[in-house]
Amino acid sequence: MPFRDRFDCLWCGTAHVTRTPDDLEGWAQLCPTCLGKAGSNPFLRTRLRTALAERGRASGAPAPSGVPAASAATGVATAPAAPAATRPSTTARAPRPATPAFPDDWFFRTAADAPTGARQLAQLVRRRGAHSLVVLMDASNRSYSSSFGRAAAAQVKALDGVVAAEMNYESGPALDYGDLARRIVGFAPDAVILVDSPGEAAIVAQQLRRLDTHAVVALSPWGANVQFVQFGGRAVEGTIALQAVNLDSDLPRMHEFARRYRQRFGEDPTTPAVQSYEAVMLGATALARGGRTNLRDTLAMPARWPGLDGEFALDAYGDTSRELHLTEVRRARFEALQ
C-alpha cells in the first residue's frame, strides 16, 4: 500500500494528516492511537509490519523482519537469540534489561545492573546542558524501569539538576500516547529519559516531536535497539541512547558472530541476540573451565569471561562489571559518542 499523507484510519476510521513523508502512519494508514496497539492486535501488527517494509524499500534501507511489541517485556532471565524462542537453563542467566544487584543466589547475568547505566546516561544528559528532567517508566516491567528511572533521577539531582517528574505508566492497547506526551511536555523539561521497550519508546518519541518540543530524548538500554530506529523514523534522530553491547565492535569474534547470524537469519544481529548468545556461551565456557566443579560454583568464582564486544567480570554474587556504550541516533543508526 503506497504512502498517503491524508487518510481515514483503516481500523477506527479517524481522519489523520501526516506531517512528513517518513511518518509511519501514512505507510500503515493507521492513526497514532491504533498504531500504538499493534502489539496486541493481529491486523494492526500486520499493517505495521507491511508499512515498515514498504517504507524501508522506498528509502533504500533494509526492511525489518519483525515488529516491536507495544507491551514491555516482563522478565529479565531469558531473551531470544534468534526468531525462535529458547528454553532457559536451570542456572538462570540474564541478558537485558538488568535490574539492581542481587544477593547470593543462582542468578548470573551478562549485563550491568540498571543503576550503573542510569547514572552514566544522566551524566551525559547534564553535560548536554539539560537542567530539568522528566523520567518516563513503563510499570509493566517495574523491577527494571523503576530501578533505572530512580537512579537516573537521583544522579540528575546530585549534579544540581531538577527532576520535574518521575512518571509511571502502564503500556497496553488502551494507552493514549498523545495524552502521555502532552503530560510530559506540560512540565517543560530540557530532557526526557524513556525507560521502556523499543516500540513504546519510538511511539512516545514521535508524539513528543509532534508537539514540537526541543527536549533531549534519552533511552535506557531496554529501548536502545534497532527496532526503535525502524519504528521511530526521522522523529528519533538525535536521540541519545545507552547501549549494553557495542554492535560495531572491531573484535574478530563479533564480526564472525554477525557474519554467521546474517547468513542464517538474513539480518543484522540485535542487542538481545548478542546477549543471549553470550549468556549461552558463558554457561558453555564455565562448564569447560569447571571440570568436576558444578556450574553454579564455577560461575560464582570471581573471574573474567569473554563477551563478543570485550571481556566482562562476574563477582561471587553473579553481578557483572561491564562497559556500557553511549550512542546517538544519526542517519537512522546508533553511532558511538566519543
200-223: per-residue pLDDT in tens? 899 999 999 988 778 999 999 999
State yes or no: pLDDT of 81 exceeds 60. Answer: no
Which residues, in sequence order, are CB contacts of 89 under 8 Å at separation 6+? 283
For the packed helices 177-185 and 198-210, what is the interaxial angle rounded to 10 degrees?
60
Residue 98's pLDDT is 56
Backbone torsion region of residue 187, taken as left when φ is above 0, otherwise alpha when ψ lies between -120 and 50, otherwise beta: alpha
Average pLDDT over residues 273-288: 90
- Rounded Cα distance, 179 and 211, in Å: 11
96-117: per-residue pLDDT in tens? 455 555 555 677 888 888 898 9
Q: What is the pTM of this model?
A: 0.69
Question: Which structural domains are found in the chain, ordered by start?
Answer: 6-59 (no CATH), 71-338 (3.40.50.2300)
Residue 78's pLDDT is 27
